[in-house]
Structure 1
Amino acid sequence: MSAVSLPLWRQLQAAARLVHGVRQGRSLTAQLPEVPAGLRPGVQALSFHALRWLGLAEALRGRLTARRPAPRPDALLCTALGLLAADGPDLYAPFTLVDQAVEAAKRDAATRASAPLVNACLRRFLREREALLPSAVQDDPVARWNHPRWWIERLRADHPDTWAEMLAAAQHPAPMVLRVYKQKCPPAQYRQALAAINIEATPVGDSGLVLRRPVHVADLPGFAAGQVSVQSAAAQLAAPLLLRGLDVAAPRILDACAAPGGKTAHLLELSPGARVTALEIDPQRSPRIAENLARLGLQADVRVADAADTAAWWDGGRYDAILLDAPCSASGIVRRHPDVRWLRRPTDIAQLAARQDRLLNALWPLLAPRGRLLYCTCSVFRAEGGERIQAFVAHNSDAAWLPSPGHLWPRLDEGGPGHGDNGGCDDGFFYALLEKRLA
């Protein structure tokens, strides 16, 4: 049975289970493979949408019923409310969505007893929508911005002039962006190949293309032949930044936290003679590096290792360049992963910052004199960006902080967030380029 012919109530059931799972601390990435393949595309779209508007949905639920339902029916109710209350065009006709949400409740033993409550709340929302929405967001920043309160407060402190713009941009799904392998196909020529099959794309950066609408990678011309990869515009900045001004014919490069391998491949594309070591601590994610490199016809020394435990893997040879894409809160990629905002806890940031410091301090001695280390995180929090580098430079006199982009984030403009302004940045990122001074 195709995804199109699947009844909406089945998709709502599955989407509500994913929302319930996120509330229990399970990421969508971990849960989605458990959804039957035929249901997965529709369920992913519904769950992503519901999680983008979960703050508002929970505030509305609090106004529609005096008592919070049990966890499973509450997840279904809030999923439906998020779909009904979101800005923008309706995914489904409101009364159809209500009818199918009630049907979803009736057909699941865990939610059946709450079907009358789901029905009453959703129909009341339709009747009183114009009054309920303003009251829900008036004094509740979580409902207004659809992020946890601690997240909003931290962002406001870190970026006092742009925090609201950043939160607003986070509500828009990120575009699909390609990186064209220029040695195999000029970007302008590849754009023409896309246009020939009615895929509209806009250039971004040196070799990137932003697709007007996402497509399956199997529909991309030359994908299997390695002409193109999927990589965000913000992530495409990494390899050129690291290699800029590096006057070494065959540089020895370390990609310290490499999975899934997009930045590793980009380094090899820009510096064909480079000798690249790609490390990944997660043995389940490491194979993706080799798979991506094989598709592109590139080679690197791929190892499963903790980059900070240098005694376990380093051969003693210094590196001309090190890319440290450090583990972080992923607060900059909530457009692609809306569950992240609900999974993170305030205490995570200090723990991640300590891990980032450990990696910086462990890898710096491995860098050759005049070598470059590019530190980056897909985070918008200063504790994982500028504060880390300021502290590192203050304690390492041989570290020079070179001109770097610093904190980047999507901005809203006429083309939507991530188009045109701020260098076409589609995700939140931090970049700092360090050079090792001579002793």
Structure 2
Amino acid sequence: MLLTQRLAAQAVTAVLAGRNLTDTLTAQRSRHSLEPRQRAAIQDISYGTLRRYGEVSFVLAKLLSRPDIDPDIRGLLACGIQQLAWGKAAPHAVVDFAVQVASKINGGRAKGLVNAVLRNFLRQRDSLLAAAQADELASSNHPAWWLAAMQEAYPQDWHSVLAANNQHPPMSLRVNRRKISRDEYLQRLQQAGLDGEALGDDGIRLLAPVPVDRLPGFTEGLCSVQDFGAQWAAPLLGVEDGMRVLDACCAPGGKTGHLLERAALDLLALDADAGRLQRVRANLDRLGLHATLKQGDAGKPASWWDGQPFDRILADVPCSASGVARRNPDIKWLRRPEDFAQFATQQAQMLDALWGCLKPGGRLLYVTCSVFVQENNNQLAEFIARHADARQLPLPAALPANGQLLPNERHDGFFYALLEKV
């Protein structure tokens, strides 16, 4: 547990210093020989701490006499508070191991502080957590600017949006209809002792998440793990056999696979990152599907486009990823308000460039995994104002009319807008 606590604290410290959590955990695993249970515990502690960092930070402010403590000690204390407040480990073990980790930081000068703060928290646990819950900002577990933006954009729903971001995400599957029907796969799950709920055309939400190696036929390509919100892309695009289709920014390939499961397509899967394209290839190979994979910038077609227009384009553009913050809790603390200007510029450039690759009568689906209006309805309105030949098509009744899916117990947050070139 000592190594687990030390690496979890280092991961949280790295995020608070501006580094990506997934990259940090990946780097740790390359440096240390970690058992699966250790990797799971490190992820559990670091994810849990960042999900509830608003409350944790509030509590630390009450317990510390001064805010400017060593960042490594703050990360260690944050993880300790999270474990003592919501974890399952024995409190005396959490405190003891935290003190041992502190003894290795800067000559151990802060081990007394760590011991005193964590024991003081245990004495005042209930009152401190109640005070954090009573504080609107702390209990939201989001930065103040994010809280304010959600309150403005969703005056009726902001509380549920932020609450969903702080929960564990659901685990949803997409059944490969080329190999098995959804009802048949539900039976396979039941035979394996797993319970699931049917969603949409091809989806299943597991009532309890499991490792993929417990999913019947996963390695044979019978199913994929994909959030139900993301499973709307392929049916909305309305692909049919023989169509020429572009999946721009395709990695990691979930939507690529879904498109090919629904129709026999001439599909170009494009992504700027060669390493991520390898992951797309691996996913398609597992599913028994084929696409042409090419590395390239979706905003600069001259470097990859052969001039033949596409019937359909899936524009899953780079965004803040605010709709999937519960899967990536570091996003809440890494994003800044000024990031949206850069995202908006990149999104607009990609949309304009991709529109020129679409044939008349063709359709483009604009997708983000964001809940911020700057990236969604605002971006869409500006695009339509620039292009007189763009007509927005209505979405199915099962989706919100404005295209904005907010995160809930069934899916993450996504935005969809279907455009036709008239």
TM-score (norm. length: structure 2):
0.93
Aligned partners of 2:45 and 2:82 also within 8 Å: no
Match of 1:24 in 2: 17
Task: Show the counterpart of 2:177.
Answer: 182
The CA distance in 1 between the partners of 2:369 and 2:241, in whole Å, is 30
Conserved 8 A contact 1:72-1:111: no
Give secondary structure in 1 for the equivalent of 2:338: helix
The reply on whether 1:127 has 2:123 as its aligned counterpart is yes
Matched, 1:268 2:257: no
Q: CA deviation at 1:353?
A: 1.0
**2-side partners of 1:304 and 1:81: how far apart?**
44
> Structure 1 residue aligned with 2:132, among 122, 133, 136?
136
Q: Partner letter of residue 179 of structure 1?
A: R
1:49 alignment counterpart:
48
Counterpart contact for 1:200–1:211, Cα < 8 Å: yes
Displacement of 1:219 after TM fit?
A: 2.1
Quick one: which of 94, 100, 112 aligns to 1:97?
94
1:103 counterpart letter in structure 2? Q
CA contact (8 A) 1:18 1:47 kept: yes
Q: CA deviation at 1:137?
A: 4.5
Question: Partners in 2 of 1:102 and 1:374 — Cα distance?
Answer: 53
Distance in 2, matches of 1:334 and 1:81, equals 21
Deviation at 1:92, TM superposition (A): 2.2
Range moving further from structure 2, 182-191 or 311-320: 182-191
2:412 to 405, 427, 430: 427
Q: Displacement, 1:348?
A: 0.7
User: Offset of 1:139 from its aligned partner?
Assistant: 4.3
Greater shift after overlay, 205-214 or 97-106? 97-106
Please state if 1:160 is matched with 2:155. yes
Partner of 2:335: 344
* Equivalence map 1:350-429=2 (5 Å): 350-404=341-395, 405=399, 406-411=403-408, 417-418=409-410, 426-429=411-414
2:219 matched residue in structure 1: 224
Matched, 1:321 2:318: no
Partner of 2:7: 14
Q: Give 1:218 shift.
A: 2.1
- Residue 210 of structure 1 and its aligned partner are, at CA, apart by 1.2
How far apart, CA to CA, are the structure 2 residues paired with 1:390 and 1:303?
Answer: 30
Structure 1 stretch displaced more, 108-117 or 176-185? 108-117
2:80 aligned partner: 80
1:138 positional shift: 3.8
The separation in 2 between residues aligned to 1:198 and 1:304, in whole angstroms, is 41
- 1:392 aligned counterpart, secondary structure: helix
In structure 1, what is the equivalent of residue 111 of structure 2?
115
CA distance in 1, matches of 2:260, 2:269: 11
Aligned partners of 1:84, 1:397: CA distance in 2, in Å? Answer: 58
Question: What letter corresponds to residue 93 of structure 1 in structure 2?
Answer: A
Whichever residue aligns with residue 84 of structure 1, its letter is: L
User: What amino acid does structure 2 have at the position aligned with 1:76?
Assistant: L
Question: What is the deviation of 1:120?
Answer: 0.9
Q: What residue is the counterpart of 2:190 in the other structure? A: 195
> Which of 262, 269, 277 does residue 286 from structure 1 map onto?
277
- Whether the 8 Å contact between 1:57 and 1:85 is mirrored in structure 2 is no
8 A Cα contact 1:73 1:110, kept in partner = no
In structure 2, how many angstroms separate the alpha carbons of the residues matched to 1:178 and 1:278?
22
Q: For residues 100 and 192 of structure 2, what CA distance do their matches in structure 1 show?
A: 40
Separation in 2, partners of 1:303, 1:315:
12
Structure 1 residue 93 displacement after superposition = 3.3
Q: How far off is 1:111 after superposition? A: 7.2
The corresponding residue for 1:421 is: none
SS state of the match for residue 206, structure 1?
coil
CA RMSD of aligned residues (A): 1.5
Unaligned runs of 5+ in 2: none
Q: C-alpha offsets along residues 363-414 of structure 1, whole Å, 9 cap, x if unaligned?
A: 1111111111000000000111111111111221111111134111123xxx
* Equivalent residues of 1:51, 1:82 under 8 A apart: no
For the residue of structure 1 that corresponds to 2:109, the secondary structure is helix
Q: Could you tell me the percent identity over the aligned residues?
A: 44
Local SS of the residue matching 1:337: coil
